[in-house]
């Protein structure tokens, strides 16, 4: 199975909350990230959480981490049309002294009026 899994699509109405879910398999993951990719662009870091944290909030973004279930979620409050993008979950672990980030397949968030 894949190391990082996330659903491929999410459609929400403008103003609603969006919740994007991610599961990972490696319990030694030290950092977990959410990246955003807008059309025709590279990925940009949205937020991240250390594995010793349960929650992180940053303005409209809330990241929840359940280490027991290896589940990560990203909640976007008051979703706007500008939030339409692909969101990638990623985890990073040390491997022989180097850090190899592993990405999920990405969740396409579609925000409609």
Partner 1 sequence: NAGVTQTPKFRVLKTGQSMTLLCAQDMNHEYMYWYRQDPGMGLRLIHYSVGEGTTAKGEVPDGYNVSRLKKQNFLLGLESAAPSQTSVYFCASKVGSGELFFGEGSRLTVL
Shortest reach from residue 43's CB to partner 1, in Å:
5
E-only strand ranges, 27-83: 31-37, 43-50, 55-58, 61-66, 71-76
Non-local (6+) Cβ contacts of 61 within 8 A are 34, 46, 47, 74, 75, 76, 77
Nearer to partner 1, 24 or 35 (CB): 35
Phi, psi of 83 (to 5 degrees): -85, -10
Q: What is the footprint of partner 1 within residues 38-77 (CB under 8 A)? A: 40-45, 48
Shortest reach from residue 103's CB to partner 1, in Å:
4
Shortest reach from residue 46's CB to partner 1, in Å:
10
Nearer to partner 1, 1 or 40 (CB): 40
Task: Quote the CA–CA distance of 43 and 106 in Å, as a whole number.
Answer: 11
**Positions in the binding site for partner 1 (CB under 8 A):** 8, 30-31, 33, 35, 40-45, 48, 88, 90, 92, 94, 97-106
């Amino acid at each position: 199975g894949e190391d990082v899994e996330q659903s491929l699509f999410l459609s929400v109405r403008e103003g609603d909350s969006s919740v994007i879910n991610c599961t990972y398999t490696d319990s030694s993951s030290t950092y977990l990230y959410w990246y955003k990719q807008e059309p025709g662009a590279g990925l940009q870091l949205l937020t991240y959480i250390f594995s010793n944290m349960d929650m992180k909030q940053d303005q409209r973004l809330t990241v929840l981490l359940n280490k027991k279930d290896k589940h990560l979620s990203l909640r976007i409050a008051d979703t706007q049309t500008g939030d339409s993008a692909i969101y990638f979950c990623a985890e990073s672990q040390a491997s022989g002294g180097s850090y190899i980030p592993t990405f999920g397949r990405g969740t396409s968030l579609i925000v409609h009026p």
